Amino acid sequence: MKLSKTEEELMQHLWKLQKAFMKDLLECYPEPKPATTTVATLLKRMQDKGFVDYEQMGRSRLYFPLVKKSVYFSKHLNGLIRKFFDDSPSQFASFFASETDLTDSELEELREIVNKELEKRQS
């Protein structure tokens, strides 16, 4: 299941805070802040989708993510690779390396990451 753009923004705040009351989430937004009812509606939709839950603390709710950021991002990225790069990670990597403004040192860093991953898999 996928989050809308506004749900994703709220989820980013929740991933950063790990656990948060409504007031904590509202503080994360720049001015003009969304209405409490708007955030409550988003949280309810995200709960229905299985992304967040809450613990009742008196009259307040302490919200927390049920899905890890890395898991969500991985599924999202794999979907992009499948949709735009014919399900080819190497086409994606080629596009990423050639069509973004990476510096030589950033490309070198990527090479080191790939080499470490290859070493880890060969062990």
65-110 confidence digits (pLDDT tens): 999 999 999 998 999 999 999 999 899 989 988 899 999 999 999 9
42-59 confidence digits (pLDDT tens): 999 999 999 999 999 999
The predicted pLDDT at position 2 comes to: 87
Peptide bond preceding 65: is omega within 30 degrees of 0, i.e. cis?
A: no
61 and 96 in a single domain? The answer is no
The answer to whether the CB of 1 falls within 8 A of the CB of 50 is yes
106 and 58 in a single domain? The answer is no
Using the 8-state DSSP alphabet, how is residue 20 labeled? B
Give the domain extent around 29: 5-65
Helices (H), the chain: 5-17, 22-28, 36-48, 69-84, 89-99, 104-122
94 and 49 in a single domain? The answer is no
61 and 10 in a single domain? The answer is yes
How many domains does one find in the chain? 2
**54 has which bridge partners?**
63
Of 34, 65, 96, the domain-final residue: 65
List the CATH number of the domain containing 31: 1.10.10.10
